[in-house]
Structure 1
């Protein structure tokens, strides 16, 4: 389920790259895939909390913190067992997910650009739009610092990761480097988002997690780890999205147009 959800995210990132060619197609696909992802998230969240807590246990700076978080991990596992979907619910979710995958054949209806020049322009616009949205996300994350701002930045990093890999043929060394850095940013901000979601769970289920002392230890490690992740993520984001969006889009357009000429 988690692997499927990740693939859906990657599809959306690529659709954003070419959305200027067929906005209606992209809107329909975005809605369809988004609904499937939200359904899968309900199943995935319980496991994410456990994985996040285990990561935090390793990051703990004292033995007391480590043992407290290990105890909370055990409670999170029990909570997941008690609230797991029934067999019928899981079967229905699996069927729905498989149907969503089969519906990917809708790509056959996509109105692709009819020339190398038009295709290059589409890629340039998509790249520029990602850069522009990323610049705004970086500014919001730096000024606001709330979890949602960093989550928005993670989405743009996910887009850049997928788009760089897709366009790598135009300039392999540059685009693969961009892809690798973007992937690292996605990983950092993914942990940060998991910590934020675990915090939301604590707000409503603290009594299910053990003693006040154990929860206090967990919160302390969460704050420290989130601070560390953000401190590493922001400079990396600045480096990935350093260029002016318009200029970056123009470069991608020219690179792809040249790559098309070379292949002839």
Structure 2
């Protein structure tokens, strides 16, 4: 079954269905993670993002329940973080080599990359308690599945439409606030907040695909691209921070100096690109779009085609 809310069915049943599907998939990922931790845990955390976005979307329908579930899955995600972040730093070096072939030719960042690979391997070998962490996550997911029976959302069409529109509007407002902060102050945490807001809004567009105003597919693609670029920027920030705290652990001074220069150039380019793309997506007030979502839901629209409008 798809990660989409069907307006012709009761919204409570749809939210339970979608949450159950994602919980099942996350449990499968955790099973994989026992032998392939990086692959399984990364996939599991993606499912968690989808669950958290789902509960944010319907939060106004049952504030206490949705807040509690959001915290549940936030805590699970934090417990599983680690291996993927180490791999992301290696991928950042690979992107720099691809983006700046002239400056990195001849293996000028090879020692840095090897140090990051060694660092990841060492942390993996020292990763005591992983089985206990996975077992705890499995238990938390099972508790989350049981908790779905206590969710109390409004199924009356008008109330359900208002709830979904409210969740979508709040996510867009969050993204607009984050965009303004990133454009004004440009701090790492501002772009990190923008990234989280974009990811949540992207999931909402998927959930509301049946009745999101056209052109929905174009908006989904633009959000996915922006999320990827913000992820790249976040990896740049993290690697810069690692160099600041562990400069002697990542290779010879000349390679670290080159790495810092290229990271700065990449950061500047990514900042401009992310702000431009985000402004295209969130430059307009969200209220009119949210109103259309509510109207289309009430009308029971199940398939919205794309049209020649802006994203």
TM-score w.r.t. the length of structure 1 is: 0.92
* Greater shift in the superposed pair: 142-151 or 92-101: 92-101
1:66 and 1:96 mapped to 2: Cα distance? 46
Note if contact 1:160-1:179 (Cα within 8 Å) is conserved in structure 2: no
What's the secondary structure of 1:12's corresponding residue? Answer: helix
SS at match of 1:62: helix
* Distance of 1:261 and 1:64 partners within structure 2: 51
Residue 187 (structure 1) aligns with: 228
- The alignment's C-alpha RMSD in Å is 2.0
Q: Deviations over 1:35-77 (max 9, x none)?
A: 1111222333222212222222212242446723232111111
Structure 2 residue 177 is matched with structure 1 residue 136: yes
Of the structure 1 ranges 194-203 and 34-43, higher mean CA displacement relative to structure 2 is found in 34-43
- CA offsets 1:195-235 (integer angstroms, 9 cap, x no match): 11111111111111111110111111111112211211112
C-alpha spacing 1:229/1:66, structure 2 compared with 1 (3 Å): farther
1:248 to 267, 272, 289: 289
Change (3 A) 1:198 1:65: farther
CA distance in 2, matches of 1:63, 1:104: 50
Mapped partners of 2:104, 2:207: distance in 1: 46
Instruction: State yes or no: 1:31 paired with 2:71.
Output: yes
**Matched residue SS, 1:68:** coil
Paired residue for 2:278?
237
| Structure 1 residue 176, shift from structure 2 partner | 2.3
Paired residues for 1:1-264 under 5 Å: 1-64=41-104, 67-84=107-124, 86=126, 88-105=128-145, 106-171=147-212, 173-259=214-300
8 A contact 1:54–1:69 mirrored in 2: no
Comparing both chains, which one has the higher relative contact order based on Cα–Cα distances under 8 Å and sequence gaps of 6 or more? 1
In 2 relative to 1, CA 42–123 (structure 1 residues): closer, same or farther, beyond 3 Å? Answer: same
Checking the alignment, whether the CA contact within 8 Å between 1:65 and 1:221 is kept in structure 2 is no
SS of 2:283 mapped into structure 1: coil
CA distance in 1, matches of 2:217, 2:279: 18
TM-score by length of structure 2 reads 0.79
Cα distance change on mapping 1:50 and 1:188 into 2, 3 Å? same
Task: Write the distance in 2 (CA, Å) between the matches of 1:261 and 1:198.
Answer: 44
Distance 1:157 1:66, change over 3 A: farther
Unaligned runs of 5+ in 1: none
Does the aligned pair in 2 maintain the 1:65–1:218 contact within 8 Å? no
CA distance in 2, matches of 1:65, 1:108: 58
Aligned residues: 262
Structure 2 unaligned residues grouped into runs of 5+ = 1-40, 304-311
Is the helix fraction higher in 1 or 2? 1
